[in-house]
Amino acid sequence: MKAHLTELLTLAAKSIAPEGSNVGTLDIQLERPKTAQHGDWATNLAMTLAKPLRQNPRAIAEALIKALPASAYLGKVEIAGAGFINFFLNAKAKQAVVGLIFQQTERFGHNDTGHDAAGTPRKVQVEFVSANPTGPLHVGHGRGAAVGDCLARLLQADGWDVTREFYYNDAGVQIDNLTKSVQSRCHGLTPEDAGWPEDGYRGDYIADVAAAYLAKATVVADDVQVTASGDIEDAVAIRHFAVAYLRHEQDLDLRAFGIKFDVFSLESALYTEGKVENTVKSLIASGHTYELDAALWLRTTDFGDDKDRVMRKTDGGYTYFVPDVAYHVDKWQRGFARVINEQGADHHSTITRVRAGLQALDIGIPLGWPDYVLHQMVTVMRGGEEVKLSKRAGSYVTLRDLIEEVGCDATRYFLAARRADSQLVFDIDLARAQTNDNPVYYIQYAHARICSVLNQWGGKVESLQHADLSPLQAVHEAALMQRLSEFPEIVKAAAQELAPHMIANYLKELASDLHSYYNAEQFLVENEALKLARMALISATRQVLKNGLNLLGVRAPEKM
């Protein structure tokens, strides 16, 4: 309908523009008014044409309305304020969405924004979770997993060719501390003993890793298989086994969370394959580095940073942002038109220096590449009190804890239902509640309710595709059809703004419309025409609920 109105306005504008007038390329904006009193769609086109046409906006609005071609979907058109044009759709226009949903089914809401001029999906990589392989995934990783996977789903719906990627920081001090912790457990030490490493990991999972190593177990992580030697003096062997063991455990947690990655990348590979060293050489050759106090610096202030950054320390080791730059060079060379990093808010300080490093290379990477979505912390509550510890992890609540407490669906929904950059309170009691106060239950119950009615009806849903919808005249029916028609716009906006919470909010509103309709009207009425029309409407609603829940990675149950 938006495309239809845009076409009408384009034709009208061209017909009223004097010959030779400089109206330029029309950028027609159509928006949903905040209240139904202002119609179904509104445009400010008359005001944008006021300057090139040198006329009063209201006069232009009147001329545009008169010049509008005939349409089978318009009820009335009005002028408001300084020259806004409000469109009121007729019943046929509002009912058209039901037939469109039947026609497109699971693809309703999808679009081709991510396609290039030739119609080919452009490549986008979404990197998310990317946890250090030093312990179980915590709730912060869980939020990153939920948001990142939803972003990937949204971008796929937006027409992009999406690659999901997990980057393991399997090099550095934290891995050294992991190795020392497991080795200490192998020697029989516990975190309470005086000889425990100062920065060692204290969770029970360290004991599990040590026991598996001593038992000479074999673990598989992605494409790597490691068999423990059992030699407690071989720190290198312990390191390789511990990293593989915890990568495997994290993978099990992600599977339980319904998340699958296409690519796993290792920080260590950037060094072994020479990518870090090559990147450093290229930065030196670019002329943006200098030596000072026996260290190598990158002049990041040339690219908007508040101060220059050390690349190579006096001890010869690289600072942590250098492999990040090398990793993103690798992403660029793999042909991704767009890269989105979903990370915790503690990564905020790395954005400027990584982008600066990429610009300093002068290899054609666009300004502002890559994109970042940073999520804030999660506070877990139960019984009105904060839950802080997990016995297995030792110092934090794990993702597995939440999944076992409230299930995968509620965990995914709650972690993605608020803006990523806002603090999140995860209320376990609310997530477990089977009441209307629990939004995921409320939405899933709406889907199950529709399934129950359709089962009672007993007819073939496919037969409803061509049902006569003219009997749908009730207020709740009009509101429901209006809400259904908004779904493609919401999906597109959520993908463009990288905001999965917009889908969660939309689904709550759609569920509310459905429940209100359910409570106000009977569906299985004696009037056959009215019954079939209502079956078609709720069947279309069921499809949209399912499509929206799928974008969040949440099930659409038929019974509850």
Query: Over its length of 560 residues, how does the chain's per-residue pLDDT go in tens digits?
Result: 888 999 999 999 988 887 656 665 678 999 989 888 889 999 999 999 988 888 999 999 999 999 999 999 999 999 999 999 999 999 899 999 999 999 999 999 999 999 999 999 999 999 999 999 999 999 999 999 999 999 999 999 999 999 999 999 888 889 999 999 999 999 999 999 999 999 999 999 999 999 999 999 999 987 789 999 999 999 999 999 999 999 999 999 999 999 999 999 999 999 999 999 999 999 999 999 999 999 999 999 999 899 999 999 999 999 989 999 999 999 999 999 999 999 999 888 889 999 999 999 999 999 999 999 999 999 999 999 999 877 676 678 899 999 999 999 999 999 999 999 999 999 999 999 999 999 999 999 999 999 999 999 999 999 999 999 999 999 999 999 999 999 999 999 999 999 999 999 999 999 999 999 999 999 999 999 999 999 999 999 999 999 999 999 999 999 99
Closest Cα partner for 142 from 406, 493, 442, 429?
Answer: 406
What fold does the segment set 273-375 form as a domain? Rossmann fold (3.40.50)
CATH of 437-551, one of 1.10.730.10, 3.40.710.10, 1.10.10.10, 2.60.40.10: 1.10.730.10
Cβ atoms of 554 and 548 closer than 8 Å: no
Helix axis angle for 528-551 and 139-157, nearest 10°, is 120
pTM comes to 0.91
Annotated domain spans of the chain: 2-89, 173-263, 273-375, 437-551
Helix, strand, coil in percent for the chain, rounding step 5: 50, 15, 35
Dist. CA 493–CA 507, nearest whole Å? 15
- Going by their DSSP bridges, the two strands 371-375 and 338-344 should be labelled as parallel
- CATH number, domain 2-89: 3.30.1360.70
Q: Which has the closest alpha carbon to 552: 506, 496, 515?
A: 506
For residues 135 and 361, give the distance between their C-alpha atoms in angstroms, rounded to a whole number: 35
88 membership: H or E segment, kind and range: strand 84-89
Full 3-state SS string of 527-542: CHHHHHHHHHHHHHHH
